[in-house]
Amino acid sequence: MIAHTKNRQNTLRAKLTIFTLFVSFAMASHSLDTEVGASATFVKALSITGNSDMSFGVIQYTSNNAANEITLSPDGAISCTNNSDYICPPSGARGEVKFSGSAGFELEISCEASGAISNGSEIFQLDAAAINIGESTYNCLGTGSSAAQYTLTGDVESDALYLGSRLNIPETGISEGGEYASDYSGGDPITIRIVYQ
Amino acid sequence: MKVFFGIITYILLSFVVLPCAHAADLDFGAIEYVPGAGNLNAILDPADGSLSCNRPNQYTCQSFGTPGSTLITGTPGDVVSIACRNTPDIANGIRTLKIAQANIHIDNTTHDCKGLNNSVTNHTISGVQVQDTVYWGGKLKVTGGTDNLSGYFSSTQGPGGQSQRIRIIFQ
């Protein structure tokens, strides 16, 4: 009986010791550490490393020429809808833009769908512009709408896009002839916009 | 007696467990650089997330980044002291960049961090999330040129990354 009471007292003492330690711990000030991550992404500024203009080449026409649609595709091939009044070359020079930036980062590319070429007095409209990049062709939708996404490879030859378009000769045909270009008065080049996504 | 200790333990535990919730990582966003650019100081203000960079002709920073944030939770009215590491690092696995002077913002005041053993301010827990959130920012430095600078840098990207550590001391 005495031993049993002593055991109970020891148990109670032990519990009170634990309780006291617990209270002491709870009363003491304590701290908590938390980790918060940080990040930044560095990208090399995009630069144009080379570009060349589109050229439909030399197009021959008869004196009584009428409307024609001359399409220069982004692979350089030329096709005409009116082959009776015109002799179109089989190929021209596609437009080319080479660019450089941080490899592995994705670009968003947009381009104007239309433009114009002029000889200073007579103006012909360009439309249906399209680009080829990464072996795929995309229609231009204006600089406010993404036409294509492309991931930079870091390879100077691969990181390039090619431009084609359609030249519209109206029903009245070509009256003056000569060289027509977007640089001349009334001309309007096709703008291409390349930005990091 | 067992019931008594059970209740006491439960009550004590409810006071001892004072969680500190992590809300968001700091992000300086995308920074464009011209190859060969000089040293960069990109300062992210923890008060509003605004980001300013020197050398605007060589680096293009966004107007705003994301400040890091940590929510302190506890019993409203309790006072806590706050300490923080002053030089966390970010790395891309090849290069390490220093966040030279980390700072925190709480109670409408910004304080420079002075290491985990030096409290920089006290805060009374309000129970209102926006008031009990510690925001942190700092000055990211790029020195030594732009070689291997391209890519994603983070404090968890090893080797070399080191997260910001914030210590909340409950009094």
ipTM: 0.86
Q: Is 90 exceeded by the pLDDT of residue A71?
A: yes
Pairing of strands B164-170, B79-84: antiparallel
Q: Is 50 exceeded by the pLDDT of residue B2?
A: no
Is A43 an 8 Å CB contact of chain B?
A: yes
Q: Do A38 and B163 touch (CB under 8 A)?
A: yes
Q: Is 90 exceeded by the pLDDT of residue A50?
A: no
pLDDT tens profile B27-55: 999 999 999 999 999 999 999 999 999 99
A118: in domain: yes
pLDDT tens profile B88-134: 999 999 999 999 999 999 999 999 999 999 999 999 999 999 999 99
Angle at A136 between CA A105 and CA A68, to 5 degrees: 135
A111: in domain: yes
User: What 3-state class would DSSP assign to A52?
Assistant: strand
Q: Report the distance separating Cα A88 and Cα A69, nearest Å.
A: 11
Look up residue A189 and give its DSSP letter: P
Q: Which of A31, A48, A156 to mutate to test the interface with B (most CBs of B within 10 A)?
A: A31
Domain ranges of chain B: 19-170
Number of domains in chain A: 1
Q: Report the distance separating Cα B2 and Cα B10, nearest Å.
A: 12
What confidence tier does A49 reach under pLDDT thresholds 50, 70, 90? confident
* Verdict on whether the full-model pTM lies above 0.95: no
A17: in domain: no
Domain of residue A118, residue span? 47-196
Angle at A140 between CA A47 and CA A125, to 5 degrees: 105
A171: in domain: yes
Count of all residues that appear for chain A in the document: 197
Q: Do B70 and A34 touch (CB under 8 A)?
A: yes
A58: in domain: yes
Q: Do A196 and B5 touch (CB under 8 A)?
A: no
Of residues B4 and A115, the one with the higher pLDDT is: A115
Q: Do B164 and A31 touch (CB under 8 A)?
A: no
